[in-house]
């Protein structure tokens, strides 16, 4: 079985140059754990995960301690830092050379890669273009219902 046999052909895409606020909105509305960044011609640029977005806004421990070390001040720093990053272009924060799969790759390669790297979803790229994604759920469905 090949990746193309079970991949999703409708990945959650966002255009290069979009803002972090736009990415956060799209991630929340789509319930996507990662956004796949493309240019105007669907050339694959990279990945921006919601975990990476959240981590960008987390306060440094030194800043928390400076503000008194309590939860309320920590949340204030978190909110302020997030708001200050809202207009940043996503291109400054994405993974530009992520693991990708060819649509002709065996599903076992996708499963092994995801298991070893603890990844939920991988982009499927052909000739530089994003053509789909494959998730752990896609693989489980294919294997357990075969």
Residue ranges and CATH numbers for the domains of the chain are 3-144 (3.10.580.10)
Q: How confident is the model over 50-78, as a mean pLDDT?
A: 71
Helix axes 71-85, 50-57, angle to 10 degrees: 120
pTM, 2 dp: 0.83
Using the 8-state DSSP alphabet, how is residue 60 labeled?
P
Contact 114, 139 (CB under 8 A): yes
Using the 8-state DSSP alphabet, how is residue 47 labeled?
E
**Among 118, 124, 88, 122, CA closest to 103:** 124
Q: Predicted confidence band at 131 (pLDDT cuts at 50, 70, 90)?
A: very high
Distant-in-sequence contacts of 24-29, Cβ < 8 A, 24+ apart: 24/50, 24/53, 24/86, 27/53
């Amino acid at each position: 079985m090949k990746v193309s046999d079970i991949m999703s052909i409708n990945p959650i895409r966002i255009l290069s140059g979009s803002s972090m606020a736009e990415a956060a909105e799209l991630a929340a509305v789509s319930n996507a754990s990662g956004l796949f960044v493309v240019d105007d011609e669907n050339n694959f640029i990279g990945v921006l995960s919601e975990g990476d977005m959240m981590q960008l806004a987390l306060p440094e421990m030194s800043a928390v301690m400076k503000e008194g070390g309590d939860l309320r001040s920590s949340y204030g720093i978190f909110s302020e830092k997030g708001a200050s990053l809202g207009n940043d272009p996503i291109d400054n924060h994405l993974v530009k050379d992520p693991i990708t799969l060819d649509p002709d790759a065996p599903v076992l390669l996708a499963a092994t890669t995801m298991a070893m790297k603890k990844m939920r979803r991988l982009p499927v790229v052909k000739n530089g273009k994003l053509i789909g994604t494959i998730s752990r759920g896609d693989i489980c469905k294919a294997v357990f219902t075969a």
